[in-house]
Every structure is written in structure tokens, then in C-alpha cells.
Amino acid sequence: MSAKLARTIGIILLVLAIICVFAALISRDSLSSQISQRWEGNNGSYSCANESGVVGGIVAMQQPQAQQTDPNTGDTYLRYNRNLVIVSGEGTPDCRVTIEDLNRVNNGAFIWLGGGFAPSSPSGSSGGSSGSGGGVK
């Protein structure tokens, strides 16, 4: 086999490998699609009544960018690229999985979650400049 033929075969195999990777990424179901297939519901709200391990199941479907639990309510918030998944009442008859658009998070609807869930503001910011060293703001 000549070097030119080996190089051509190598390039063809590389292109095919890249195509396979893109096909695998595109064909993978979205997280919201996977959740809707596993739990009954509609419009981003699904029932997981009396089921435990819901958060673990969702994390197994796709690793979140951030995860936080509200100590007051016990709700777990999972942040993904495009969505915020909220699991409330896990293990109870009222268990719900809710999928929120990440725009609500970025607009401050869940501001108490902290900087890991939305762009945070600069610390100590009051919306204006701090003024000069000796002056009053």
C-alpha cells in the first residue's frame, strides 16, 4: 500500500468518525424528552408520585451544571444548558418534576439559588459608580 493511499484511507476514516460523533449527539434525546418519556404529565410538569430516587434518575440521564436543594422546602434544583429542572416532594404522593426555561432563572425568578444558577451581580454593587476617593457618592 502506498503512502498516498494510506493517507486517503485515513482521511476518509477520520471524516466518518466525525460524522458518527455528530450523529450520536444529534440523535440523543433531550433531557425534557427523556423526562416526559419516564413520567406522566404535560407542559413541563410531571408526576413522580411516591417515587424515590427521582433526582438520581434525572442526574443519571444527564449530568447537571449545578445542583442545589432548598433547605426550607426540600426541593432540588438542577441547572442544565437550557432548562432548570425542579424536583419537589420526592418520595411523597405530591412528587413533581417541573422543567423551567432557563430564561426565568436568568431574569431573577430564582435569585436565591445564587451565582451557580444565574449570572450574579458584582458584589457590593449599588448600580452606580463608587465615586472618587474623597467624594461622597
What's the whole-model pTM score? Answer: 0.60
Quick one: how far is CA 117 from the chain centroid? Answer: 9
Q: Which residue has the cell 432557563?
A: 102
Residue 9 parent element (H or E): helix 3-27
Residue 55 has pLDDT above 60, yes or no: yes
The pLDDT score that the predictor gives to residue 7 is 92
Per residue in 31-48, pLDDT (tens digit) is: 888 888 888 888 888 998
Tell me, what's the pLDDT at 112?
55
- The predicted pLDDT at position 43 comes to 81
The ranges assigned to domains in the chain are 30-113
44 contacts 100 by C-beta, under 8 angstroms: yes
Which uninterrupted H or E stretch holds 23?
A: helix 3-27
